[in-house]
Amino acid sequence: MTRPRILVVDDEPNIVDMVTTVLEFHGFEMSAAATAAQAYAAARVHRPDLVVLDVMLPDGDGFEVCRTLRRSLPRLGIVFLTAKDAHSERVAGLTYGGDDYVTKPFNIDELLARVRAVLRRILPEAAEEPPDDGVLRFADVELDEHACTVHRAGNPVSLSRTEFDLLRYLMLNRGHVLSRSQIIDEVWSSDYTGSSNIVDTYVGYLRRKLGAFGPNLIQTQRGFGYVLRERSEP
């Protein structure tokens, strides 16, 4: 079965990296664009089944991009992803032909669920979840999302729920530097009002527990945040 093709259109590199990494992990064929002009070009080349589309683009309006793309791809699914959360904006998005509307900051699991829901309507066969064992792997670390267990070099690593969620988020975004605010929004919640130092504390917990069985994998990018990366990687 052909994998569903998804185009992400957003001018924020961190969002594009996160969405493409997670959706690709879940079996979708991904492409990306940062402007309206790039979106039109990518749509011609990749013929996506669905577009995750920001409303505010550097060279145009996402609503107009939606309307233009629908002329050439009438069955195209559109999920708007935007910081505009006013009721009128939601109505406008659906009026212009959008299938769903997700506001920033967002939970990546919610976005994944909404993408699948739209695909079920337009591509019933392709929207089925690809079979997988639910295990995330990086270096010698394995995280089982179904059993909620972590092993390193074959050794069980006992983690709290927050430590588990933090490691999962880092593994889903391996190689990408994540700021403290990004980590808080995803692992705690966008409503969290405490100190961002909590991220440093939990990274320290993870480093000690994983470090009992191998070298440190959670690198500090000074002034930016944290990244899951082996020392030998650039």
Give per-residue pLDDT as tens, 16-56: 998 998 898 888 999 999 999 999 999 999 899 999 999 88
* Judgement on whether residues 169 and 78 belong to the same structural domain of the protein: no
* CATH classification of the domain holding 111: 3.40.50.2300
User: Does the reported pTM lie above 0.85?
Assistant: no
* Judgement on whether residues 84 and 149 belong to the same structural domain of the protein: no
Mean pLDDT throughout 100-124? 84
Q: How far apart are CA 50 and CA 48, in angstroms?
A: 5
Bridge-partner residues for 159, per DSSP?
none
State how many domains the chain has: 2
Q: Please check the confidence at residue 197 and state whether its pLDDT lies above 90.
A: no
Mean pLDDT throughout 171-176? 84
Tokens representing residue 51 in the block: 């577009």
Contact 51, 39 (CB under 8 A): yes
Domain containing 199 equals 135-228
